[in-house]
Structure 1
């Protein structure tokens, strides 16, 4: 993984939660796309996007300030911090002109929360019922799952760092449950 930032905390807002060994913060906006296509289209999409689309379940591929997260056999979430969504869409449309696919800009639909610190796993496990031990959910793994009753995409960024991608309308609900969960830790 390159050290160029993909997710970074929004500078003009305070953390959702800051406690010893734990921090939850909203990130700066990203360009986000839902991509669907067969393996041939995925190959072209990855080349045009600048980060190949992983073909392995639960995998993510990050190259500099771009990432592709596997969500299903023909579905990926594409994230980019370094360009506008419009520029990415134009480049990918050109590369995929002859390939059946679907590319939908979801930049305004989604937001991301960074959950970081030594208590990140325990805090997430207050509402996410997956084994988040590094042996079961290693760095780089990404999956679509539930956070209480909200659908999220959970991506382990580091030993003690996770990104929680969610619909913008669910973010206050998730943030509230994270704050409540931290009280019980």
Structure 2
């Protein structure tokens, strides 16, 4: 991995809202007929159910649409996407590295649902948004990808240009929760 990681746009950490370190991110697009083959070659079963995720080793696949997944790893070298691309071989799909486009926050603890609900219109109760569920949604006026990792833990992906805005709103909500 490169010694030069992108600077974090976040201002700090609190009890419930913490910036996450560098992640490798890639957007994968492929037709339904190729999903099983592509998943097998990548080593992770690509979820085919809406808003679900799968993790195998250090690679996570988040379903974003009928033919779109966000691949995440916290163990990305500079050439991790080209390594995935070589494993795909002749599979008909598109794989684009978006590692530097987004950054991630963790929202954890008993108040995590309430903090996120302050700016997100989704029902984030465990019954409606169970572990492993993920979706592209809005937090106030910013698009985010929201992924529930545990009953009291969420992973929030946000475009770098909206990072401080979302972080600030989450921190205000944390104080109010």
* TM-score, with structure 2 as normaliser: 0.88
CA distance in 2, matches of 1:79, 1:97: 20
CA distance in 2, matches of 1:117, 1:174: 18
Query: Match of 2:122, SS?
Result: coil
Cα shift readout 1:70-120 (whole Å, capped 9, x = no counterpart): 000000000012232513x23332343323321110001111100000000
Which residue in 2 is equivalent to 1:163? Answer: 155
CA distance in 1, matches of 2:57, 2:84: 18
Tell which deviates more after alignment, 46-55 or 124-133. Answer: 46-55
Greater RCO (CA < 8 Å, at least 6 residues apart) = 2
CA distance in 1, matches of 2:13, 2:74: 24
Tell which deviates more after alignment, 153-162 or 63-72. Answer: 63-72
CA distance in 1, matches of 2:126, 2:87: 37
Cα shift readout 1:127-166 (whole Å, capped 9, x = no counterpart): 0111111000001100110000111110000010000011
CA distance in 1, matches of 2:51, 2:118: 21
Match of 2:85 among 88, 93, 107: 93
Which residue in 2 is equivalent to 1:65? Answer: 58
Q: 1:106 to 1:14 in 2, by over 3 A?
A: closer
Which residue in 2 is equivalent to 1:144? Answer: 136
Match of 1:83 among 76, 100, 104: 76
Count of residue pairs the alignment pairs up: 170
Q: Which runs of 4+ in 1 moved over 3 A?
A: 12-17
Cα shift readout 1:56-78 (whole Å, capped 9, x = no counterpart): 10100012221000000000000
Contact 1:44 1:95 in 2 (8 A): no
CA distance in 2, matches of 1:172, 1:13: 6
